[in-house]
Amino acid sequence: MPSETSNSGTTGVIRSTNPRTGDIVGECTDMTADDVEAVIAAARAATAEWAAKPIGNRARHLRRIRREWIRRAPELAGVDAAETGKSLIDAAYEVLAVSLNLDWCSWNARRGLRDRRVSTFPTVPKRARVEYGPYGVVGVIAPWNYPAGIPMQVIPWALAAGNTVVLKPSELASQTGLLLADIINGAGEELIHVATGGAVAGAALASSPGIDKLEFTGSGSTAKHVLRGAAENITPVVMELGGKDALIVTDGADIAAAARTAVAAAFFNAGQTCMATERVIVTPGVHDELVEAIRAETAKVVVGPDPSSHVGPLTMPGSLRRVIARIDDAVADGATLVAGGTRLSTDHGEYLEPTVLTDVPAHADVLTEENFAPVMCIQLARDVDHAIDLSNAVDLGLSGSVFAADLTEARSIARRLDTGGVVV
Ligand code: NAD
């Protein structure tokens, strides 16, 4: 088990373990609602002084945080890799990408947050301007798959705008959350406070009147609880939820490039990415060529406990059993296994061979639910319109991708996809 929790109203302990080895990574408090309130109060106490600083000073401080972040990146990547089971190089990629966001934020926050004149009705002698002020305490509830990268998409901006932050890391990656805060606070200002724990701590944060704005990243099912909690105080919420992304390939596309991209996007981080390519939808003229190219690219992907492998273990206990059951059900219903489909036999850890399926029945869970595992379903579309319909048939439109014969066709497909974003 990557983590053990014992939360029943009294303060317990969360122990995270390495999904590759079973070794204990660290222990921390499994906070109760009262513990979480105390953390929020500490964050509140720091808001006035931080909010009073001019934006230029806050931006300069973000650059100090960035220097501290880069200095301690190897340490953070090591803890991230240990708690999630991802390879050190993937964790390093995640952690170092954050420094780009810190950099960009520090140089652009002043422009984004500067006061703006707005026009008023011409005959009324008034001048109007918009001034941006901080909310106060921003709550950030984070998932385990990128435990440094995901919260750090939000935290730099919350800080730049003059807020302090209470971070609730996933219970599977608490040590990464604690170290992340230590690095940020190590730059000289106590701006991040951490509420460790699972559902109890998360629910307490979401429903607390002490939280002025909430950012939640996680699954749709948890999001419903979070929204109910936030509704108690009408707390504004930003939600980043799951996906079932499709990559569409049409006749005339560069098949070699499409296959390489599909394989990387489906299997990076063992498929445990919200924007992972879980479905590939292809038109008839290039179907067979694409399936063969994807099969060949998948054969190059190395899975296993070796630190240099491309695909590591699934982080969440029990997910391997769930996803193999979905694959088996689909195959029993007529799907064809092009690659993988089986568990890798190892002493520790839950490893799935990178899996590619074709001919998957429309109702199969493996095709309609987020798998969050290295599984790709290839769907044959009758034509471009049908490809778009298949992509939009799943109600988890986080993002999508298009490979087409030319940019004009790709853009026209992209515009018709019900997704938050599209990569062409
Ligand atoms: P999850 O929903 O199980 O947990 C997310 C967070 O919510 C954790 O910190 C958890 O402790 C907390 N939580 C659990 N119960 C809660 C409750 N009742 N009230 C408040 N908080 C509660 O998600 P996960 O398994 O950690 O992460 C995987 C999911 O996150 C996937 O669906 C993935 O697609 C999604 N995700 C989305 C994005 C994005 O940017 N859209 C990025 C990464 C992950």
pLDDT digit string, tens, across residues 230-272: 999 999 999 999 999 999 999 999 999 999 999 999 999 999 9
In order of 102, 131, 138, 253, the CA distances from 236 in angstroms are 24, 19, 10, 43
pLDDT at residue number 308: 83
User: Is the Cβ–Cβ distance between 193 and 37 less than 8 Å?
Assistant: no
- Binding site membership of 198 for ligand 1 (Cβ less than 6 Å): yes
Q: Closest ligand 1 atom to the C-alpha of 398?
A: 41
Is the predicted pLDDT of residue 39 greater than 70, yes or no?
A: yes
Q: Closest ligand 1 atom to the C-alpha of 206?
A: 20
Q: Choose among 300, 299, 313: nearest CA to 344.
A: 313
- Residue among 222, 314, 371 to mutate when testing ligand 1 (max atoms within 8 A of CB): 222
- Binding site membership of 170 for ligand 1 (Cβ less than 6 Å): yes
Q: How far is the CA of 140 from the centre of ligand 1 (A)?
A: 11
Q: How far is the CA of 218 from the centre of ligand 1 (A)?
A: 2
Q: Closest ligand 1 atom to the C-alpha of 141?
A: 9
pLDDT at residue number 11: 65
Q: How far is the CA of 142 from the centre of ligand 1 (A)?
A: 6
Least confident of 7-21, 73-87, 134-148, 228-242: 7-21
pLDDT digit string, tens, across residues 325-343: 999 999 999 999 999 999 9
- Residue among 31, 32, 141, 211 to mutate when testing ligand 1 (max atoms within 8 A of CB): 141
In order of 123, 193, 263, the CA distances from 377 in angstroms are 62, 41, 11
Q: Closest ligand 1 atom to the C-alpha of 170?
A: 9
pLDDT digit string, tens, across residues 175-214: 999 999 999 999 999 999 999 999 999 999 999 999 999 9
Mean pLDDT of the chain: 95
pLDDT digit string, tens, across residues 289-339: 999 999 999 999 999 998 889 999 999 999 999 999 999 999 999 999 999
Q: How far is the CA of 272 from the centre of ligand 1 (A)?
A: 12
- Is the sign of the CA dihedral 243, 196, 158, 156 positive or negative? negative
Q: Closest ligand 1 atom to the C-alpha of 225?
A: 18
- Binding site membership of 145 for ligand 1 (Cβ less than 6 Å): yes
Q: Is the overall model pTM greater than 0.85, yes or no?
A: yes
One-letter identity of residue 135: Y
- Residue among 194, 219, 319 to mutate when testing ligand 1 (max atoms within 8 A of CB): 219
Closest-CA residue, ligand 1 atom 15, reads 199
- Binding site membership of 239 for ligand 1 (Cβ less than 6 Å): no
Q: Choose among 60, 4, 57: nearest CA to 30.
A: 4
Mean pLDDT value of segment 130-153: 97
Greatest extent of the chain over all pairs of C-alpha atoms, in Å: 78
Q: How far is the CA of 205 from the centre of ligand 1 (A)?
A: 14
Q: Is 31 exposed, middle or buried (0-12, 13-18, 19+ CB in 10 A)?
A: buried
Q: How far is the CA of 325 from the centre of ligand 1 (A)?
A: 22
- Binding site membership of 265 for ligand 1 (Cβ less than 6 Å): no
Q: What tokens does 256 get?
A: 């070699």
pLDDT at residue number 411: 98
pLDDT at residue number 10: 57
Q: How far is the CA of 397 from the centre of ligand 1 (A)?
A: 17
User: Is the Cβ–Cβ distance between 106 and 63 less than 8 Å?
Assistant: yes
pLDDT at residue number 3: 46
Is the predicted pLDDT of residue 8 greater than 50, yes or no?
A: no
Closest-CA residue, ligand 1 atom 43, reads 274
- Binding site membership of 226 for ligand 1 (Cβ less than 6 Å): yes
pLDDT at residue number 2: 47
Is the predicted pLDDT of residue 32 greater than 60, yes or no?
A: yes
Q: Closest ligand 1 atom to the C-alpha of 146?
A: 43
pLDDT at residue number 317: 92
Q: Choose among 146, 160, 306, 324: nearest CA to 240.
A: 146
Is the predicted pLDDT of residue 1 greater than 60, yes or no?
A: no
Mean pLDDT value of segment 357-370: 98
Residues tagged active-site: 240, 274
pLDDT at residue number 120: 86
Is the predicted pLDDT of residue 116 greater than 60, yes or no?
A: yes
Q: How far is the CA of 75 from the centre of ligand 1 (A)?
A: 24
Is the predicted pLDDT of residue 59 greater than 90, yes or no?
A: yes
pLDDT at residue number 121: 85
378 versus 345: the higher-pLDDT residue is 378
- Binding site membership of 151 for ligand 1 (Cβ less than 6 Å): no
One-letter identity of residue 64: R
